[in-house]
Structure 1
Amino acid sequence: MSTTPAPFTADDYRARMARAAEAAADAGLAGLLIAPGPDLVHLTGYRPTAVTERLTVLVLAAGRDPVLVVPALEAADAEHAVGAPALTLRDWTDAKDPYAATAPLLDAGGRFGVSDNTWALHLLGLQQALPGTSYVALTEALPMLRAVKDAHELERLAAAGAAADATYEEILKVRFSGRRESDVAADLAALLRQFGHSQVDFTVVGSGPNGANPHHEAGERTIEQGDMVVLDFGGLKDGYGSDTSRTVHVGDPTPAEQHIHEVVREAQQAGVDAVKPGAACQEVDRAAREIIEEAGYGDLFIHRTGHGIGVTTHEPPYMIEGEELEMVPGMCFSVEPGIYLPGRFGVRIEDIVTVTEDGGKRLNNTAREMAIVE
Structure 2
Amino acid sequence: MTSEDLYPVSRLAAAQEATAKAGLDALLLTPGPDLRYVSGYEALPLERLTCLVVPAHGESFMMVPRLELPAAQASPAARLGLDFVAWDETDDPYGVVASRLGSVAKVGLADRMWAMASLRFRAAMPGAEQVLAGSVLRELRMRKSPDEVAALREAGEAIDSVHRQVPRFLKAGRTEREVGKDIHDAILAAGHSTVDFVIVASGPNGASPHHEVSDRVIQAGEPVVVDIGGQLHNGYCSDSTRTYCVGEPPADFAAYYEVLRRAQDAACEAVRPGVTCESIDAAARTVIAEAGYGEHFIHRTGHGIGIETHEEPYIVAGNTEVMEPGFAFSVEPGIYLQGRHGARIEDILVCTQDGGERLNNTTRELVIV
User: What's the offset of the Cα at 1:11?
Assistant: 10
Residue in 1 that maps onto 2:368: 372
In the alignment, residue 52 of structure 2 is paired with which amino acid? L
In the alignment, residue 308 of structure 1 is paired with which amino acid? G
User: What's the offset of the Cα at 1:311?
Assistant: 1.3
In the alignment, is residue 309 of structure 1 matched against residue 305 of structure 2? yes
**Deviation sequence 1:53-80 (CA, Å, 0-9, x none):** 2222111134422211112221121111
Determine the C-alpha separation between the residues in 2 that align with 1:137 and 1:11.
24
Residues 9 and 30 (structure 1 numbering): CA distance in 2 closer, same or farther, change over 3 Å?
Answer: same
Determine the C-alpha separation between the residues in 2 that align with 1:17 and 1:326.
25
Residues 100 and 174 (structure 1 numbering): CA distance in 2 closer, same or farther, change over 3 Å?
Answer: closer
In the alignment, residue 167 of structure 2 is paired with which amino acid? L
Residue in 2 that maps onto 1:104: 99
Residues 91 and 316 (structure 1 numbering): CA distance in 2 closer, same or farther, change over 3 Å?
Answer: same
Determine the C-alpha separation between the residues in 2 that align with 1:329 and 1:22.
22
Residue 105 of structure 1 aligns to a residue whose secondary structure is helix
Residues 10 and 317 (structure 1 numbering): CA distance in 2 closer, same or farther, change over 3 Å?
Answer: closer
Which 5+ residue runs of structure 2 have no aligned equivalent?
none
Residue in 1 that maps onto 2:335: 339
Residue in 2 that maps onto 1:3: none
Do the aligned partners of 1:10 and 1:84 also contact (CA within 8 Å) in 2? no
Residue in 2 that maps onto 1:78: 72
Give matches, 1:241-256, under 5 Å. 241-256=237-252
Residue 33 of structure 1 aligns to a residue whose secondary structure is strand
The root-mean-square deviation of aligned C-alpha atoms, in Å, is 1.7
State which of 351, 359, 362 in structure 2 corresponds to 1:363: 359
Residue 203 of structure 1 aligns to a residue whose secondary structure is strand
Give the TM-score normalised by structure 2: 0.95
Determine the C-alpha separation between the residues in 2 that align with 1:105 and 1:326.
39
Residue in 2 that maps onto 1:212: 207
The structure 1 segments of at least 4 consecutive aligned residues displaced by more than 6 Å after TM superposition are none
Residue in 1 that maps onto 2:28: 33
Determine the C-alpha separation between the residues in 2 that align with 1:360 and 1:171.
27
State which of 277, 280, 285 in structure 1 corresponds to 2:281: 285
Determine the C-alpha separation between the residues in 1 that align with 2:278 and 2:107.
28
User: What's the offset of the Cα at 1:336?
Assistant: 0.5
In the alignment, residue 341 of structure 2 is paired with which amino acid? F
Do the aligned partners of 1:107 and 1:133 also contact (CA within 8 Å) in 2? no
**Deviation sequence 1:203-230 (CA, Å, 0-9, x none):** 1000000111101011111101010100
User: What's the offset of the Cα at 1:95?
Assistant: 0.8
Residue in 1 that maps onto 2:60: 66
Determine the C-alpha separation between the residues in 1 that align with 2:69 and 2:211.
40
Residue 314 of structure 2 aligns to a residue whose secondary structure is strand
Residues 190 and 331 (structure 1 numbering): CA distance in 2 closer, same or farther, change over 3 Å?
Answer: same
Determine the C-alpha separation between the residues in 2 that align with 1:116 and 1:306.
20
Residue 138 of structure 2 aligns to a residue whose secondary structure is coil
Residue 306 of structure 2 aligns to a residue whose secondary structure is coil
- Percentage of matched positions with identical amino acids: 45
Do the aligned partners of 2:111 and 2:133 also contact (CA within 8 Å) in 1? yes
Residues 325 and 142 (structure 1 numbering): CA distance in 2 closer, same or farther, change over 3 Å?
Answer: farther
Give the count of matched residue pairs: 367
Do the aligned partners of 1:330 and 1:356 also contact (CA within 8 Å) in 2? yes
User: Could you tell which deviates more after superposition, 243-252 or 326-335?
Assistant: 326-335
**Deviation sequence 1:81-122 (CA, Å, 0-9, x none):** 122131211122221111111013335233122211112222
In the alignment, is residue 119 of structure 1 matched against residue 114 of structure 2? yes
Which 5+ residue runs of structure 1 have no aligned equivalent?
1-5
Determine the C-alpha separation between the residues in 1 that align with 2:215 and 2:65.
43
Give the TM-score normalised by structure 1: 0.94
Residue in 2 that maps onto 1:56: 50
User: What's the offset of the Cα at 1:187?
Assistant: 1.6
**Deviation sequence 1:247-266 (CA, Å, 0-9, x none):** 11111123311111111111
In the alignment, is residue 222 of structure 1 matched against residue 223 of structure 2? no
Residue 3 of structure 2 aligns to a residue whose secondary structure is coil
